[in-house]
Amino acid sequence: MNLNDLFNDMERYAKEANVPIMLKEGINYLQNFVKEKNIKNTLEIGTAIGYSALKIASMGSYVTSIERDENRYNKAVSYINSSDLKDNIKLILGDALNIKLYDKFDLIFIDAAKAQNINFINNFKDNLEDNGYIIIDNVGFHGLVGKSSEIPSRNLRALVRKIENFLNYLDEQTEFKVTRINVGDGLILLERM
């Protein structure tokens, strides 16, 4: 299927089935980044239905992407198999925290369970090329970060606290240079110092 039609189909499906996929601003940033930095090998944590994986692959990078939800993984497989980029994307079904990879990547894009960002970084940082980048999506968490003590719901409060911990972890970084990118709901860019 033509890529534009496929992206339209995926956007429609994501809306109907309530699957969170990256918003336009974030995707545009990511695609430009892949092009400008000449990224050739990307690891994505959080495939969902394969939308961002296909967007990244369409900029010339090979993509390995991990998803733990079987229904979403199956949907991603079928979308990607119907595209010309199918040979450039490898999908893995499983919990990224239980997966060990041995390849090296010049970009690791993390867009999965927000409370696990530090664990994802620790699990995959050895897979990053020396001059590679990590991009983490959606750290702003809808304006709730910094206000966890005011949130009545216990689960949401716990999640926002974990994101606040992550932001503190970023402030105390000695391994990575941290850049906050103000697109979409907020992106974080990490580069090795």
Ligand X SMILES: C[S@@+](CC[C@H](N)C(=O)[O-])C[C@H]1O[C@@H](n2cnc3c(N)ncnc32)[C@H](O)[C@@H]1O
Burial group, residue 123, by CB count within 10 angstroms (0-12, 13-18, 19+): middle
Query: Which of positions 81-120 make contact with ligand X (CB under 6 A)?
Result: 95-97, 111-113, 116
Binding-site size for ligand X (CB under 6 A) equals 19
Closest approach of ligand X to the CB of residue 65, in Å? 8
Closest approach of ligand X to the CB of residue 102, in Å? 18
Closest approach of ligand X to the CB of residue 166, in Å? 14
Residues 6+ apart with CB under 8 A from 177: 190, 191, 192, 193
Query: In the structure encoding, which two tokens stand for residue 112, read together?
Result: 């999965």
Query: Which of positions 116-175 make contact with ligand X (CB under 6 A)?
Result: 116
Helices (H), 18-116: 24-36, 51-57, 70-81
Closest approach of ligand X to the CB of residue 193, in Å? 27
User: 25: closest CA among 140, 142, 144, 182?
Assistant: 182
Cα–Cα distance for residue pair 27/135, rounded to 1 Å: 12
Letters for 29-68 (x = contact with ligand X by CB under 6 A, - = none) are -----------------x-x--xx-------------xxx
Cα–Cα distance for residue pair 123/125, rounded to 1 Å: 6
CB atoms within 10 A of CB 14: 17
Binder among 69, 129, 164, 185 for ligand X (CB under 6 A): 69
Nearer Cβ to ligand X, position 14 or 151?
14
Interface with ligand X, residue 70, by CB under 6 A: no
Q: Which residues bind ligand X (CB under 6 A)?
A: 20-22, 46, 48, 51-52, 66-69, 72, 95-97, 111-113, 116
